[in-house]
Amino acid sequence: MSRRTSPVIPGFGLTLGYTLVYLSLLVLIPLGAMFVHAAQLTWEQFWTIISSPRVVAALKLSFGTAFLAALINGVIGTLLAWVLVRYTFPGRKVIEAMIDLPFALPTAVAGIALTALYAPNGLIGQFAADLGFKIAYTPLGITLALTFVTLPFVVRTIQPVLADIPREIEEAAACLGAKPLQVARYVLLPALLPAWLTGFALAFARGVGEYGSVIFIAGNMPMKTEILPLLIMVQLDQYNYAAATAIGVLMLVVSFILLLLINLLQRRIRRS
């Protein structure tokens, strides 16, 4: 007779109950309360708030810079993961620690440091000023701040997947006459693409909601360098809770739709 082994963790009912309670307290109830508060507005009032030129400009800036920063990290993060996995060199542990620095460093500290570095009188910003353009207090500065904050998401997502790819597969493809670009396209890319999309989605989601590292380097000029999280804070400071809630709902819906599309694309790639 076969003996039934007891599970390592409690049964399905108990663990599911804990999961639902935990998820409800941290995610579902706060989000539900926001939607309930937004439901107090009429559709005309809600549309007037979210379609105002200031909100639209902040929406384009927040999602545009977050998307661009995620794309940049998609390239840089892949190269960093490749170097850290495939090569051994002096200082490798230092680079590993530096990649995780945005996780440990307070975002406000990062924003102050980046502003001091890229401001017109900063160490790097002064050279940019001599060339006739600005880095800080522009969308370019916001993109750089988001790139710094979201880099670990891409590197740490791709790194374990790349480490699990046997080098023998690449060597076999090379022995069969495949060129390096063909090996990268037909051998490495299919294995790395789902992980790359996951890292991209995480970086994009973090960039959209980032606040601390951006407000210092952005300059916070309405219609120019004002991000959505800051606009929500402005409305809260003015006790305009209806507008803050409406903007938050807009931000949540747009983020959910974009992340859903990325996840659907990722699932389709895995099935193909």
The radius of gyration of the chain's CA atoms, rounded to the nearest angstrom, is 23
C-alpha triplet 232, 236, 240: angle, nearest 5°: 100
Q: Are both 28 and 56 inside the same structural domain?
A: no
Question: Is 2 inside a domain boundary?
Answer: no
Q: Are both 18 and 81 inside the same structural domain?
A: no
Dist. CA 57–CA 65, nearest whole Å: 12
Q: Are both 124 and 230 inside the same structural domain?
A: yes
CATH at residue 220:
1.10.3720.10
pLDDT per position in the chain (272 positions), as tens?
455 555 555 666 777 787 888 888 877 888 888 888 888 888 999 999 999 999 999 999 999 999 999 999 999 999 999 999 888 888 888 988 889 888 888 888 888 999 999 998 888 988 888 888 889 999 999 999 999 999 999 999 999 988 888 877 877 887 878 787 887 788 888 888 888 988 998 899 899 989 888 988 988 888 899 999 999 999 988 888 889 999 999 988 888 888 888 888 878 877 76
Question: Is 214 inside a domain boundary?
Answer: yes
Q: Are both 20 and 124 inside the same structural domain?
A: no
Dist. CA 41–CA 263, nearest whole Å: 32
> Whose CA is closest to 210, among 121, 144, 162?
144
Residue that has been written with the tokens 């992340």 in this structure: 259
Give the domain range for residue 34. 9-39
Q: Are both 69 and 126 inside the same structural domain?
A: yes
Q: Are both 25 and 160 inside the same structural domain?
A: no
How many CB atoms sit inside 10 A of residue 42's CB? 9
Q: Are both 138 and 186 inside the same structural domain?
A: yes
Q: Are both 32 and 73 inside the same structural domain?
A: no
Number of structural domains found in the chain: 2
pLDDT value of position 8: 59
Dist. CA 43–CA 251, nearest whole Å: 17
Tokens of 11: 């049964």
DSSP 8-state assignment for residue 206: H
Instruction: Please report, for residues 85, 93, 199, 256, the alpha-carbon distance to residue 96 in angstroms, rounded to integers and kept in the order given.
Output: 11, 5, 17, 31
Question: Is 59 inside a domain boundary?
Answer: yes
| Helical segments of the chain, H only | 12-23, 29-38, 43-50, 53-86, 92-99, 101-104, 107-118, 125-131, 139-164, 167-175, 180-183, 189-209, 212-218, 228-237, 241-271
Dist. CA 135–CA 115, nearest whole Å: 9
Question: Is 3 inside a domain boundary?
Answer: no
pTM to 2 decimal places: 0.85
Question: Is 198 inside a domain boundary?
Answer: yes
CB 118 within 8 A of CB 141: yes
CB 248 within 8 A of CB 46: no
pLDDT value of position 6: 56
C-alpha triplet 120, 60, 158: angle, nearest 5°: 85
Question: Is 35 inside a domain boundary?
Answer: yes
Q: Are both 28 and 106 inside the same structural domain?
A: no
Dist. CA 160–CA 149, nearest whole Å: 20
pLDDT value of position 1: 47
